Amino acid sequence: MQANATLSIVCCQLHNLWLGFSAEQISSASTSGINQKTFQLNQLLGLPPETTPARHQLSIKADNHLPDILVSSDIHLCELSLTDIHPLPPLLAARTTLPGLRALAWHQQRFILLFDARHLLAGQSQADSPA
Amino acid sequence: MTPTSLDTALEARAQLKQQIVDVDEPSVKLVVVRIGHERFAFHASHIREILSDQPVFTLPGSPDSLEGVIHVRGNIESVVRLNRLLQQPEDSDTSHQRILMGKTDILSSGIRVDEMIDLFDTVISSIQPPPATLPAHLAPLVSGVIAFHQQPLAILNLAKIFTHYLQGQG
C-alpha cells in the first residue's frame, strides 16, 4: 500500500464520541434496513443509550449472517490517510473493554475510534436481538 | 614540619588527580515528581518529554487509571495514572499536574503526575538498593532509593510499572 493511500471510513457519533468502521466492511447504510435482527451501537459497546432514536441501520458484509447495527446519529463517509491512523497504544489495548476497538485516528483535530464491525458483533449473531 | 620531598609531593599530587577522576564516576539524571502525597523519581533516560496543558481525550471502556489518549507530535499515546498502583490518593488540586512521556524498550505512554519537583544528576553509587522495609506494593516497582532533601526517595522502574499495568494491575 502506498504512503498516500487512504482508507474509506463510515463514521458516526455516539454521545460525544466519533466512531468509524472500515467502509469495506459495510454493505449498506440505510434508514430502513431489511435485516430484522439489529443491535443498538451503544448496547454493543456497553455504553448508555442515546436520547434520540435510531436513524440508520448499518449492514455488515460477512460470510455468516450478522445483525445490523442501529445508529442514532448521521452517517458520514470520510477518507483517512494512512498517517491519520494509529495502532492502539499498548496500555490502552491491554485494558480497554470496548469490543472490536482496533485503532485510533486523528482526523480534522478530533479522535475517531476505529472498530472492526465483525468483531464488534461476534458473539451477538447467535443471540436474540434485544432491539 | 616534616620536610616534603619532590617524590612525596608528586605522589600527593597524583592522589589529588585521582580524586578529581573520581568525580567523573558514572552518574544518572533523575526526574522527581509527586504522585498523591509521595515523591518518586524516574530515570530521566526514560522520560522523553514533560507536557503541561495537553488536552486528554477520555475513552469509555477504560479503567479509571487510564485517563485517556493524547495526540502529541504526530503520535497517539495513552495517559495513565499510577495512583492506584502506588496506593496514593488522587490529588484534587490539578494546577501543578504534568504528563511525563515515558518510554522503555517495550512501550511508551504518558504518565500523569501531580507535580514536577526537580531534575538533577546524581552519581550511581549514591543509589541504594530497595530496602527490605519497602511496602509490599512498591517492592516490585522500585529499582533503588536515594536521599533527597534528607528523605529517602524511591526510584521507580518504569519498565516494571508498564509490565504490571499491562497485566491489569493499577
Nearest CA in chain B to A15: B60
Neighbours of A7 (CB within 10 A): 19
Residues of chain B that touch chain A, judged by Cβ-Cβ distance less than 8 Å: 57, 59-63, 66, 69, 71, 74-78, 80, 106-109, 162, 165-166, 168
More confident residue, B102 or B12: B102
Contacts A106 to B, Cβ<8 Å: 71, 76
Residue A131: per-residue pLDDT: 45
Q: Which of A86, A102, A107 is nearest to B76 (CA)?
A: A86
More confident residue, A129 or A72: A72
pTM for the predicted model, two decimal places: 0.86
Residue A122: per-residue pLDDT: 84
Check if the beta carbon of residue B83 is closer than 8 Å to that of residue B65: yes
When pLDDT is cut at 50, 70 and 90, the band that residue A129 belongs to is: very low
DSSP helix/strand/coil, B36: coil
CA triple A113-A114-A118, angle to 5 deg:
135
- Contact yes or no for A96 and B59 at CB 8 A: yes
Indicate the average pLDDT of chain B.
92
Bridge partners, residue B13, by sequence: none
Nearest CA in chain B to A104: B76
What would the pLDDT profile of B21-40 be if each residue is shown by its tens digit? 556 789 999 999 999 999 99
Neighbours of B10 (CB within 10 A): 10
Bridge partners, residue B66, by sequence: B80
Name residue, grid cell 534528607: B150
When pLDDT is cut at 50, 70 and 90, the band that residue B126 belongs to is: very high
Check if the beta carbon of residue B97 is closer than 8 Å to that of residue B112: yes
Which of B57, B106, B108 lies at the smallest CB-CB distance from A111? B57
- Please, is B37 exposed, middle or buried when counting C-beta atoms within 10 Å of its C-beta (0-12, 13-18, 19+)? exposed
User: What's the CA gap between B118 and B28, in Å, rounded?
Assistant: 14
More confident residue, A74 or A3: A74
Residue B53: per-residue pLDDT: 84
